[in-house]
Structure 1
Amino acid sequence: MKTVVIKYNAGNTQSVLYALERIGAAAEVTDDPEQIRAADKVIFPGVGEASSAMQYLKARQLDQVIRELTQPVLGICLGMQLLCSHSEENDTTCIGIFDEQVKAFNNAGNKDFKIPQIGWNTVYDLRTKLFNGIAENSYCYFVHGYYASKGPATIATTDYIQPYSAALHKDNFYGVQFHPEKSAAVGEQILRNFISHI
């Protein structure tokens, strides 16, 4: 089975590769459209800023390549946000797989909440095979200042300032706001589920 990690200017690719190695899965990092289309599983990672990431993807027509994929795709952090329809981060039109909107955290009502959210938080209302073997309220590691609203595609929820989508699913596309590659045993199980059971 061939797994690829999409290479672009907002990828946290090395930590994702290490996490895949820990579960015995090899992956290739590439921005080549044909290699991406030929893969059995595609991981779309991300750390960075939405508008510059979308510019990079559009310049290489990777946004269109991603839209047309029919195999399982997993977006991580910014990767998940870019699969949504729009991000408030620099008013960015995204790839549009998920209808959910990406919004900026607003802590005006409680300055105890630091932005960006950095650290461990619980995920609950877990659905789909992506969370097989994961207990409700398990802890995952988050680093983000923007969040995807809850909607029809929400398959896991987290609370920080307000409830939001910790994970999304539509057709062959999955997304997680947290970093499974940094979420210890829980994250490894989620990656294993994606690689082996989806």
Structure 2
Amino acid sequence: MNGRAFLSFWIVVWGVWGMVFMSGNRVWSQDKSSTASKKPEKKKAAAAKSETTKTTKKKKKQFAKGKGKLVILVNVQRKGKVKLTKTMLRNIFLKKTPGWHPKFRSFKSQVNKAFLKTVVKMSVKNFDLYWEKFTTFTGQNKPRQYRGAYSVIRKIGKDKMGIGFLYLYEWEKYKRKAKKSNRYKKLLQKVHPALFLEVKK
């Protein structure tokens, strides 16, 4: 092999080797880029999983605190005079049954959402729409909403046809207060827990 042929041979070899090297480098870069792009996706998935876990724990904690049950309160003068069912409650709180004055919690409150899901079988949005149609066709005002448990208990106690609902833990809280304070004792003497319901999860 003369000098020129030898030189040409090595030029070809180096050229081929260079092409192989560059090709491999591109593949490695693509793999690295692909791995890097997957990292944010993994982080998002981990964050979503963490959020779901937190939500689940929060719900369990709420149920453990007494938000897993509702208590239906009526005026004490109704005690022993009526046996309530979910169907009756649904009709009462949709104002389809006369002789009752339902006391509503804030429509967007957690306790109202629990009541709607368990008894009325409506979402907050549909419940709100129901009352808009109701007021349009009947000319009656939209029901007054009470934010706190105290207001609901007091209103039921003052109204012989009053009925309302609380979380069980709210009722238990006022029962504890009644043991220490005559004010709360008198408040609870005017109402009666007519029914206890498991909240639908």
- Under TM normalisation by the shorter chain, which class is it? under 0.3
The normalised TM-score by structure 2 is 0.25
Q: Which entry has the higher C-alpha Rg, 1 or 2?
A: 2
Indicate the structure with greater helix content.
2
Q: Which has the higher contact order (CA 8 A, sep 6+)?
A: 2
The normalised TM-score by structure 1 is 0.25
Indicate the structure with greater strand content.
1
